[in-house]
């Protein structure tokens, strides 16, 4: 919320939406769940993909490795948002404010590009299996990932530009440093809103349409194959469904706020709530890893099996001992009951 002082200078109101208890609680819950679930899952995926790339890299492995790295970078900076929500204001150095926003939005948009590239790779492997296998080279995936990182980081550099450009009439006293990338002056909005609309077109609409086209045709082609393994068909459908859910749940609300803000030429106050679902991207991507990579499935199944064996060794013996004691005491109880019944009959 912005107000105008008597001298004509724009000052930022202290009534930032972040100061609301409801929003702070929501950010704490969502970010904490994402950090707790997403960090170990992505670390497991990182370990698996690094081993796989060292042995024999494929374009899919390169794309999935970059998606994992993007999620881990996102998760490493997530505690800054958690700290802001816990204190209900930005209490850290202002240098970290644009840095956290830059990392946050760059990794989100980078995820959309990488998920789209994975859908294209899956589609080409099914639609043109022979031609694609002959021209399949992980170097192309590396080159594509470099472009994706540069594209997402280049667009999201607007965070730095906006934070350090507050207009010539704004003095240090007028700045509200208790919020981070939440309130903007008219001069900032002139720079920010067109870029947000461009982000909606370039880094969401185009990737989403490509992703839908690839996975719809991917499933249609697999459904027409006569002798396909049912497990392979299930994994293909699971990959398509999870990826489209990531776009719908995590990215659509956030990008809709870009369009609304551009059309009405203001930053919607409810936009802070649309950022919350995008955070879940880091804990939903491991499902993409599971359905896409046999190496991840193998590592996950091995860990689950080791955990079950540990449970059996730790608690199984105790359960067996308890069962043995119950069985051993059962005949003794029966022996005590039989003489009592005979004594009563006499």
Domain that holds residue 77: 16-291
Any domain includes 85: yes
Q: Which residues pair with 12 in a beta bridge?
A: 2
**pTM score, whole prediction:** 0.82
* Per-residue pLDDT, 43: 93
Is 318 part of a structural domain of the chain? no
Residue 266, both tokens? 């203001």
Query: Of 153, 125, 147, which Cα lies nearest the Cα of 59?
Result: 125
User: Is the separation of the CB atoms in 181 and 98 below 8 Å?
Assistant: yes
Task: Convert the pLDDT of each residue in 178-227 to its tens digit.
Answer: 678 777 888 888 889 999 999 999 999 999 999 999 999 998 988 888 77
Q: Is the pLDDT of residue 90 over 60?
A: yes
Q: What pLDDT, in 10s, does the model give residues 101-143?
A: 999 999 999 999 999 999 999 999 888 988 888 888 899 999 9
Say what the alpha-carbon torsion angle 44, 46, 49, 53 is, to the nearest 10 degrees: -150
CA 289/CA 315 separation, integer angstroms:
32
316 in any annotated domain? no
Residue 322 within a domain: no
The pLDDT value given to residue 312: 77
Please report whether residue 258 resides in a domain. Answer: yes
In a domain, 116, yes or no: yes
Asked if residue 241 lies in contact with residue 290, where contact means CB atoms within 8 angstroms, the answer is no
Closest CA to 189 of 7, 12, 5, 6: 12
Q: How far apart are CA 18 and CA 24, in angstroms?
A: 6
* pLDDT band with cut points at 50, 70 and 90 for residue 344: very low
Residue (of 97, 114, 195, 116) closest to 149 by Cα position:
114
Asked if the model's pLDDT at residue 165 lies above 80, the reply is no
Whichever domain contains 80, its CATH number is 1.20.1070.10
pLDDT for position 230: 81
Residue 110 lies in a domain: yes
CB-count exposure of residue 313 (10 Å: 0-12, 13-18, 19+): exposed
Q: Is residue 64 part of a domain?
A: yes
Name the residue among 283, 269, 242 with its Cα closest to residue 78: 283
At 321-338, the pLDDT tens digits run 655 555 455 554 444 444
Is residue 278 helix, strand or coil?
helix
Contacts from 204-209 at CB under 8 Å and sequence distance 24+?
204/109, 204/112, 204/251, 204/255, 205/255, 207/112, 207/113, 207/115, 207/116, 208/112, 208/116, 208/247, 208/251
Domains of the chain: total: 1
């Amino acid at each position: 919320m912005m107000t105008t002082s008597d001298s004509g200078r724009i000052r930022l109101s202290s009534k930032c939406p972040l100061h609301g208890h409801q929003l702070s609680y929501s950010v704490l819950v969502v970010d904490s769940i994402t950090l707790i679930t997403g960090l170990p899952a992505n670390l497991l995926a990182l370990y698996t993909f690094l081993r796989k790339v060292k042995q024999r890299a494929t374009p899919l492995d390169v794309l999935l490795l970059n998606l994992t790295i993007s999620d881990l970078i996102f998760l490493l900076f997530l505690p800054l948002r958690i700290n802001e929500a816990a204190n209900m204001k930005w209490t850290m150095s202002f240098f970290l404010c644009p840095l956290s926003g830059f990392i946050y939005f760059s990794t989100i948009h980078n995820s959309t590009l990488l998920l789209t590239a994975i859908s294209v790779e899956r589609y080409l492997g099914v639609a043109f299996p022979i031609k694609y296998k002959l021209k399949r080279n992980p170097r192309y995936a590396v080159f594509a990932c470099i472009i994706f990182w540069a594209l997402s980081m280049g667009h999201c550099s607007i965070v730095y530009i906006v934070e350090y450009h507050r207009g010539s009439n704004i003095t240090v006293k007028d700045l509200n440093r208790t919020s981070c990338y939440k309130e903007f002056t008219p001069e900032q909005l002139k720079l920010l809103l067109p870029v947000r609309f461009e982000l909606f077109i370039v880094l969401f609409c185009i990737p989403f349409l490509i992703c839908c086209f690839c996975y719809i045709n991917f499933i249609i082609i697999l459904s027409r194959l006569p002798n396909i393994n049912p497990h392979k068909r299930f994994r293909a459908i699971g990959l398509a469904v999870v990826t489209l859910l990531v776009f719908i749940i995590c990215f659509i609300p956030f990008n809709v706020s870009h369009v609304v803000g551009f059309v009405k030429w203001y930053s919607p106050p409810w936009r802070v709530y649309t950022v919350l679902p995008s955070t879940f991207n880091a804990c939903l991507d491991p499902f993409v890893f599971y359905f896409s990579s046999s190496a991840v499935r193998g590592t996950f199944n091995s860990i689950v099996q080791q955990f079950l064996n540990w449970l059996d060794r730790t608690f199984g013996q105790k359960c067996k001992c308890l069962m043995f004691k119950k069985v051993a005491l059962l005949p003794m109880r029966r022996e005590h009951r039989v003489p009592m019944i005979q004594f009563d009959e006499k």
